[in-house]
Amino acid sequence: MEIKDSLQEAYIEHVLLHGEQPKTVYLFARENGITEAEFYTHFGSFESIDIRIWQSMMAEAIREVKAQEVWPEYSSRERALSLFYGFMELLKSRRSFVTFSLRNGKNRIGLSNLFEGMKQEFELFSADIIREGIESGELTDRPFFSGKYKDALWVQLGLVINFWLKDTSAGFDKTDEAIEKGVNVTYNLFQRSPIDELFEYGKFLAKNSGIKMPF
Amino acid sequence: MIRKDENEQRSIPTSKVERSTQFVKTGFKIGGNYVKHYSKKLFNSDLSKDELNEDNAADIYESLSKLKGSALKVAQMLSMDKNILPKAYVNQFSQSQYNAPPLSGPLIVQTFRKLHGKAPEKIYDKFNLKSSNAASIGQVHQAELNGRKLAVKIQYPGVGDSISSDLKLVKPFAFRLIGMSEKELDVYMREVEERLLEETDYELEVKRSMEISKACAHLQNIVFPTYYPELSSKRTITMDWIEGLHLKEYLETNPSQEERNTIGQALWDFYNFQQHELRAVHADPHPGNFIITPDAKLGIIDFGCIKELPDDFYYPFFSLTSAGFFNDKEKTLKAFRQLEMIHEKDSASEVEFYYDMYRQMIGLFAKPYSSESFDFSGTEFFEQIYNYGEMIAKMPEFKQARGVKHFIYVNRTNFGLYNILHELKATVRTDTYVPQVNYAD
């Protein structure tokens, strides 16, 4: 195992056993048989370990869902759903650490920093499936807006994580429902809708009927 | 901590709020339909209410089908009661027996991972992620294992949880459709809720399916699928795939009268054997639960809803259907009282009124029993039922709770059965399994 990974594991274990971050970098380094200086060559702070953990969870979830036999048959929408389910399953298996990290991250560095690595992974993935969706005609290409689709998915992920943290249903069944409904709503917005037609109709009238627009 | 609790409490009703807005929307739309109706009527005074009813039914159906789960089930139930609802409603509601938007592929995979620990393609040799049918609170997929073709039923997540709140939301609608007050009918609503909750328990369904198919194995021309409890869980059921056509499709193939009689007879025997011998009956006779196999046998594929008939209901009720029983007014009144169709505090004239009305109802109900065989193809019998339903729906005397709760499912079962036999235009022998009421004499 790479030393970065083993430090990451040791950090998670410490948090789970003690319910807090290690007291100092010095102590943590010594426990793991390295010097403090060596620690800093891998991570700038404990927070950067947290950031890397979130990033690697997302990377792992993406790897796992892509490895499924059915993956090639999935539409863009199904791929998004599949990642959401896969990622949330992964979070469930580490719920204690996840809740600690979120609470801690919120106070110390802010959630947007905590998620910066994860967001990169997620955006690469979403950009891919959205592009595929647009190419296949499943999603509508809208100037300016289609570039924002991935942000909408990111917001949806945030909503789902928040929902899950408050979910008390057995087996987190409600979270599954939240994913199914949430991702479908978001994807429905990406598809062609009456608004597109209204917009095009307006454009057509403006060009061809000689009606002066009031603006 | 306090904040967290606050959030949790807030998080629970949100989904209910979502659902109620769905209904509020429908309410507005229905309001709109009335406006449309009356403004049209200003110009055209002989516009009938049919169009209005149709508009309303379409909107109610639309909002119910979005709700899925138990609300869809209620739509189905209402659609069974052709004798209560105006025809326009029925046509729209009947649609709910056939379509509902499917679960996504990834959610199915997720459900299997959770309940069986493995993705479906790891459990079965083949598994089709596209569902082949909707089953009101779930959907059906085709699969294959060791060369056997299987049907796998998967329940929508959260159905059980939302039943109670869905029913509360459906209540005012249901009661407006039926025209009764909400409070008095609570006891019926609870009965419905109980049955619906049972239906969400797939482990119970597998157990009952196996019991009943064993008890009914000797009946002619009926096939039951084999169930696989080891491949089932609280939200999935695996059973054999039965090849064949749904009733509607089957009827389009123009089957011969003889064949239709055979199927009809099988249906009749199946229901009446259960009612009179097992005293527990498959209480969901909607066409989607039956498959007609290529060799013209009746396949029964859904045992979600079982109604047990307790003795204190069975004996008074079915003794009413025995020949000549109505000649004895005292005995009839006694049975009506036992069944709470006539109340203690009713005045003498009320007793007379209900005695008369209920005699008509039971008379209609028992008509097929009154001879050895009955031809269900005629429309006259059904017009009578329908007109009777229309008539009592308009009577203020019936806008109150009367009759024990068991009536809901027993009526639904038997009138549902009559309806299917009517669609089949079948003539059946009705003396194969008859009410066992000697005890009551």
Residue A90 lies in a domain: yes
- Same-domain status, B142 and B285: no
**Integer CA distances (angstroms), A169 to A25, B12, B191, B234, in order:** 39, 10, 25, 15
pLDDT of A9 > 50? The answer is yes
Total-model pTM: 0.73
Cβ–Cβ gap B129/A168 under 8 Å: no
CATH for A79 = 1.10.357
pLDDT at A76: 94
Question: Taking a C-beta distance cutoff of 8 angstroms, is the pair B92, B65 a contact?
Answer: no
- Same-domain status, B107 and B87: no
pLDDT at B379: 83
Give the separation between CA B67 and CA B76, rounded to whole angstroms: 13
**What is the per-residue pLDDT across B37-88, written as a single tens digit (0 to 9) for each?**
444 444 444 445 455 455 555 555 455 444 444 445 554 454 444 344 444 4
B8 touches chain A (CB under 8 A): yes
- Same-domain status, B283 and B317: yes
- Min Cα–Cα distance to chain B from A201, Å: 27
- Same-domain status, B424 and B293: yes
Question: Taking a C-beta distance cutoff of 8 angstroms, is the pair B260, B271 a contact?
Answer: no
- Same-domain status, B91 and B141: no
Burial class (CB within 10 angstroms; exposed 0-12, middle 13-18, buried 19+) of B175: middle
- Same-domain status, B159 and B291: no
Segment among A71-75, B158-162, B317-321 with least mean pLDDT:
B158-162
Q: Which segments of chain A does DSSP mark as H helices, in order?
A: 3-18, 25-31, 36-42, 46-66, 76-93, 95-108, 111-114, 116-136, 149-166, 173-190, 194-208
- Same-domain status, B84 and B111: no
Residue A21 lies in a domain: no
- Same-domain status, B131 and B73: no
Band (pLDDT 50/70/90 cuts) for residue A207 is: confident
A168 touches chain B (CB under 8 A): yes
Give the separation between CA B242 and CA B251, rounded to whole angstroms: 18
Residue A156 lies in a domain: yes
Residue B194: count of CB within 10 angstroms of its CB: 12
Q: How many domains in chain B?
A: 3
- Same-domain status, B13 and B89: yes
Q: Which of B4, B107, B119 sits opposite A81 (nearest CB)?
A: B107
Residue A74 lies in a domain: yes
The boundaries of the domain holding residue A135 are 70-205
Band (pLDDT 50/70/90 cuts) for residue A104 is: confident
pLDDT of A79 > 80? The answer is yes
pLDDT > 90: percent of chain B: 29
- Same-domain status, B387 and B258: yes
- Min Cα–Cα distance to chain A from B339, Å: 41
Closest CA to A66 of A1, A128, A159, A2: A128
**What is the per-residue pLDDT across A116-173, written as a single tens digit (0 to 9) for each?**
999 999 999 999 999 999 999 999 888 888 888 999 999 999 999 999 999 988 888 8
Closest CA to B276 of B79, B144, B127, B410: B410
Cβ–Cβ gap A70/B129 under 8 Å: yes
Q: Which of A69, A78, A89 sits opposite B121 (nearest CB)?
A: A69
- Min Cα–Cα distance to chain B from A39, Å: 35
For tokens 């991935």, the residue is A150
Token pair listed for B62: 């639309």
Residue A36 lies in a domain: no
**Which residues 92-111 on chain B approach chain A with CB closer than 8 angstroms?**
103-107, 109-111
- Same-domain status, B356 and B426: yes
DSSP H or E run through B78: helix B69-80
Band (pLDDT 50/70/90 cuts) for residue B136 is: low
Average confidence (pLDDT) over B22-35: 45
ipTM of this predicted structure: 0.80
DSSP string of B395-415, one letter each residue:
-GGGSS--S-THHHHHHHHHH
Closest CA to B173 of B53, B75, B67, B286: B75
Number of A to B CB contacts under 8 A, please give it. 59
Cβ–Cβ gap A176/B110 under 8 Å: yes
- Among B224, B241, B258, give the residue marking a domain's end: B241
Residue A144 lies in a domain: yes
Give the separation between CA B108 and CA B124, rounded to whole angstroms: 14
Give the separation between CA B110 and CA B101, rounded to whole angstroms: 18
DSSP string of A22-78, one letter each residue:
-S-HHHHHHHTT--HHHHHHH-SSHHHHHHHHHHHHHHHHHHHHHTSTTGGG--HHH
- Same-domain status, B278 and B230: no
Residue of B nearest to A86 (CA): B110
Residue A47 lies in a domain: no
Question: Taking a C-beta distance cutoff of 8 angstroms, is the pair B135, B286 a contact?
Answer: no
The boundaries of the domain holding residue B416 are 243-441
Q: How many domains in chain A?
A: 1
pLDDT > 70: percent of chain B: 69
Residue A35 lies in a domain: no
Residues of B in contact with A78 (CB under 8 A): 104-106
